[in-house]
């Protein structure tokens, strides 16, 4: 696996690039993570919909299309992370009752909040087809990436 420090610095480069709008940059970040980390099989952003009442809307992503394009706060792993504003790591999705399945292949999931001045504004959602594959190093790098991404949200 690529050094996670290197991933954070590559995300900084994408964020600070002059070319590309916000969604193009978010897509490039998804692609970087999906390409470089073998156990990351679906990588996407959900954003708080300012027009809705406590609801997430799917933003740029890399991986299989999902039915879950809108997720209310509190529902699934994504909606629970939106409510707590904290990283949610699930090493085995079969052990979660409040879980929205995207595909039978998904075995583990991590959701990292993106915050502006402490306020929850979006999240980075990653699915893995491998159980118990998410490490503390992944979590730490993704939380740094979440902080970097907040600059363009
Ligand atoms: N599994 C998520 C739904 C989103 S998909 O993983 C893309 C959840 O339980 O919130």
pLDDT at residue 2, as a whole number:
57
Angstrom distance (rounded) from CA 71 to CA 58: 8
Residue nearest ligand 1's atom 3 by CA: 100
pLDDT at residue 5, as a whole number:
76
- Residue numbers of the chain with a pLDDT score lower than 70: 1-2
pLDDT at residue 126, as a whole number:
98
Question: Residues 7, 36: contact at Cβ < 8 Å?
Answer: yes
Angstrom distance (rounded) from CA 100 to CA 116: 26
Residue of 44, 75, 76, 128 to mutate, ligand 1, most atoms within 8 A of C-beta: 76
pTM reported for the whole predicted model: 0.96
């Amino acid at each position: 696996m690529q050094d996670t420090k290197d991933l954070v610095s590559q995300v900084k480069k994408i964020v600070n690039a002059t070319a590309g709008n916000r969604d193009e940059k978010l897509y490039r970040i998804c692609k970087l993570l999906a390409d470089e980390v073998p156990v990351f099989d679906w990588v996407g952003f959900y954003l708080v919909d300012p027009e809705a009442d406590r609801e997430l809307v799917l933003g740029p992503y890399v991986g299989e299309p999902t039915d879950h394009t809108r997720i209310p706060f509190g529902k699934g792993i994504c909606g629970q992370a939106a409510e707590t504003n904290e990283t949610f790591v699930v090493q085995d999705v079969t052990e979660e009752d409040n879980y929205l399945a995207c595909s039978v292949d998904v075995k583990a999931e991590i959701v990292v909040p993106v915050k502006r001045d402490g306020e929850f504004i979006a999240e980075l959602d990653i699915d893995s087809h491998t159980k118990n594959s998410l490490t503390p190093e992944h979590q730490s790098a993704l939380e740094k990436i979440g902080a970097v991404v907040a600059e363009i949200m």
